[in-house]
Structure 1
């Protein structure tokens, strides 16, 4: 799901993707393609 981020705000983490909050624009493209509960937009 890291590849789904057009802003390059995700990088592989140990269990879930690590998010660069300064780069994330909350577009939500990553949420439907990441494994369940790995990313949640609230």
Structure 2
């Protein structure tokens, strides 16, 4: 399955800690339109 997020690991040392930053890998409108379409599908 293809994802729509890219995860970057960040390490700022002992005082800053380690964490992840996320960014969209697709156009934001595509993600929002797909989400709306999924919500409209009856179960």
What is the TM-score when the length of structure 1 is the normalising length? 0.22
What is the TM-score when the length of structure 2 is the normalising length? 0.22
Structure with higher helix content: 2
**Larger Cα-atom Rg:** 2
